[in-house]
């Protein structure tokens, strides 16, 4: 067996936002929001993040492998 090759796909932010309908507070589309205050722009992250909601079902060490 030869060396394994890793392939990374680089996806820009606009493509990611076009494929999924991420909303801020379930109400506002992320592509329409602009932070105009320069002092706040470095503290407010508008990148979409998916979070698994397990509600504590996977709190033990080896239960997390099936998430």
pLDDT mean across residues, the chain: 72
Q: Look at residue 61 and tell me if it is in a domain.
A: no
Q: Look at residue 29 and tell me if it is in a domain.
A: yes
- Could you tell me the pTM of the whole model? 0.38
Phi, psi of 30 (to 5 degrees): -65, -25
Q: Look at residue 59 and tell me if it is in a domain.
A: no
Q: Look at residue 58 and tell me if it is in a domain.
A: no
Domain total in the chain:
1
Task: Indicate the DSSP class of residue 60.
Answer: S
- Mean pLDDT over residues 55-65, rounded? 63
Q: CA Rg, the chain, in Å? A: 18
Q: Look at residue 53 and tell me if it is in a domain.
A: no
Confidence of residue 39 (pLDDT cuts 50, 70, 90): very high
Q: Look at residue 63 and tell me if it is in a domain.
A: no
Q: Look at residue 56 and tell me if it is in a domain.
A: no
Nearest to 52 by CA among 63, 39, 40, 42: 63
**pLDDT for residue 32:** 83
Residue with tokens 């407010």: 44
Q: Look at residue 34 and tell me if it is in a domain.
A: yes
Confidence of residue 23 (pLDDT cuts 50, 70, 90): confident
Domain of residue 35, residue span: 1-47
- Mean pLDDT over residues 19-30, rounded? 79
**Tokens matching residue 41:** 């722009």
């Amino acid at each position: 067996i030869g060396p394994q090759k890793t392939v990374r796909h680089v996806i820009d932010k606009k493509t990611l936002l076009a494929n999924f309908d991420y909303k801020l507070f379930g109400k506002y589309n992320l592509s329409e929001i602009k932070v105009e205050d320069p002092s706040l722009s470095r503290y407010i992250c508008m990148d979409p993040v998916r979070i698994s909601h397990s509600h504590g079902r996977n709190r033990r060490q080896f239960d997390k492998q099936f998430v």
